[in-house]
Structure 1
Amino acid sequence: MIDSGTKVWTMKGEEQEAGKKEFLDNLKTLEAELGDKPYFGGDSFGFVDIALLGFYSWFHAFETLGNFIVEAE
């Protein structure tokens, strides 16, 4: 996820688009794993949930620089 996010903010054109697609595909994979559970570990907040918090703070920057909205995708 870090590599694709870096491509979104540092590249232009086709390379940025490839990074954006990869970033969104990673998020879709995480969303599929989460499913209807409140947390990745089920009913309890765990390591994966904590690890994702550090990435979440960058989403606005990725959206702004990549000209997309995560929620819309």
Structure 2
Amino acid sequence: KDGKVILKIENNILYIEDTGKGIKNPSKVFERFYKEQERGIGIGLHIVKKLCEELDVKIGVKSILNEGTSFSLNLKNLI
């Protein structure tokens, strides 16, 4: 609620940022079936990670609780 999603590209890196509640364990977010909420299956970001690996795109995540999360996709190998 009342949050923002920001998309930006700098030096062939796509950043997807939000001002949400953050992720408790960002190092686990790409694991299969990992989830922090009851809803969902916990496979979406795992699939994204696998697709990025197939395309030679590096994906990363940074998160601060109660401030937000930022995903980065390094697209230099696609361009």
Asked if Structure 1 and Structure 2 have the same fold, meaning a TM-score greater than 0.5 normalized by the shorter chain, the answer is no
- Structure with the larger helix share: 1
Q: TM-score, normalized by length of structure 1? A: 0.31
More strand by share: 2
